[in-house]
Amino acid sequence: MADNIPRGASCPHQLDLMNPELMSQGLPHEDLAALRRECPVALQDKTEHGDEFWAITGRDEIDYISKHPELFSSATNGSHPLPGDQDPGVSDIVRRLIINMDPPEHNQYRKVVSNAFKIRAIDKLEPMMRERAREIIDKVAQRGSCEFVSEVASEMPLFVICELMEIPTEGRQEFSELVTTMLGMDDPELNVSSVDGQLAAARIFEVAMGLATEHKANPKKGTVLDALLTGSVEGEALDEFEFCCFCLILIAGGVETTRTATGQGMRLLMEYPDQLQKLVDDPSLIPGAVEEILRFHPPFNFMQRTATKDLTLGDMDIKKGDIVKMFYPVANRDEAVFGDDSDQFDVTRAERMHDLRGEHRTFGIGHHYCIGAYLARLELSVMFEEIIPRLRNPRLVGEARPLVSHFVTGLKKMQVEFDAEAIEG
């Protein structure tokens, strides 16, 4: 804490971090770096975009919060705000999402699906992923251009989560649109209301119940759907509402995280062609480059917790009921952890920093560490291992269009041109 900032006082660095229009243009990293250095636990005043909260930008402080759920609750006010979540129907759903649970309840529900996300289970999906990745690139490679978000970035995560949830091919595009509707309520261009978001969630619930009926008639072992329908909490099977809430968070999280990372990863490689060339020359660097993409541009800006008692964090007085928001992208650029070049995008960073995946906080840390992290990493590696050798000399056409959101860092559209792949024969 800077010496001239009194304990408990609001920080002199007041940033409008809950402004969707502002945040969709990219985080103000220079200002946030000052925040991290001078007041890593910084009280941000109420604005027209939200109430007062503590901006947490120090990695040590983020780790402490994440590892002490008894002091910082996910359940009290949720892990992140959702448009319309004050509506009774929406708030009921929000409370039953696993991301908004505290131990011991969280641990019990996490066990329901943990086996489906173990490394051995995910590795079995790799051949299927590679085949699908080739099919995705086959559709665009000879054209020399594509709308990257819808035609490439969205396809793999949608395919994988639908396989895990036993969603038939003909229903997959609908799920992509439903996820966009639920996450796009801050974007005026999408013209989505909170009612639209609720209807999208209701539609996912409806489809989920249909999937459950089909699975019971024709069970398929080893899928996430099977884990949900055969799992139990304290000896009791999930009820219909719990089952549908699980489906909702797994589908939304599974699609959006990897879609955003793929799109923003491609944008970064076009923005830094020297880094792309390193991957063209040595494809073995791609898994490490995926970690750098995740470090440099996380799919989400923050997660939040609520203090359960009065306490001191980073020399600041936090009161019971205060909201703390953990800004992972800022912690991911901490010079003390990632070196003096932490603000640089370097696809070889993992070569000199062998625990890069353990050092960045894109997937969180502690009991809420992302259960699908290994799956997301595999999807991203497989996709870029197919994209990089085949979509040669890619260049951005116009500007990438970000989703207007203070939370999700996704892209709506990104037109890309590249050298058309020659037609064989």
Tens-digit pLDDT profile for residues 274-286? 999 999 999 999 9
**How much of the chain exceeds pLDDT 70, in percent?**
92
Rounded mean pLDDT, 226-246: 89
Per the prediction, the chain carries an average pLDDT of 89
Which tens digit of pLDDT belongs to each residue from 210-221? 989 999 898 888
Q: 76-90, 244-258, 261-275 — which is least confidently predicted? A: 76-90
Residue 6 reports pLDDT greater than 60: no
Average pLDDT over residues 399-425: 89
Query: Pairing between strand 53-56 and 323-326?
Result: parallel
Give, in order, the Cα–Cα distances in Å from 283 to each of 78, 276, 280, 384, 388.
40, 10, 6, 9, 8
- Nearest CA to 246 out of 218, 211, 199 is that of 211
Q: d(Cα 157, Cα 154) in Å, to the nearest integer?
A: 6
Q: Is 53 helix (H, G, I), strand (E, B) or coil?
A: strand
Q: In the chain, what are the domain boundaries?
A: 20-419
Per-residue pLDDT band at 251 (split at 50, 70, 90): confident
**pLDDT band at residue 186 under the 50/70/90 scheme:** low
Report whether CATH 1.10.630.10 matches the domain 20-419: yes
Instruction: Report which of 127, 32, 16, 41 is spatially closest to residue 329, judged by C-alpha positions.
Output: 32
**What's the average model confidence in pLDDT over 128-148?**
97
Per-residue confidence (pLDDT) for residue 3, from 0 to 100: 46
Please state which of the ranges 80-94, 264-278, 296-310 shows the lowest mean pLDDT.
80-94
Confidence class for position 7, pLDDT limits 50, 70, 90: low
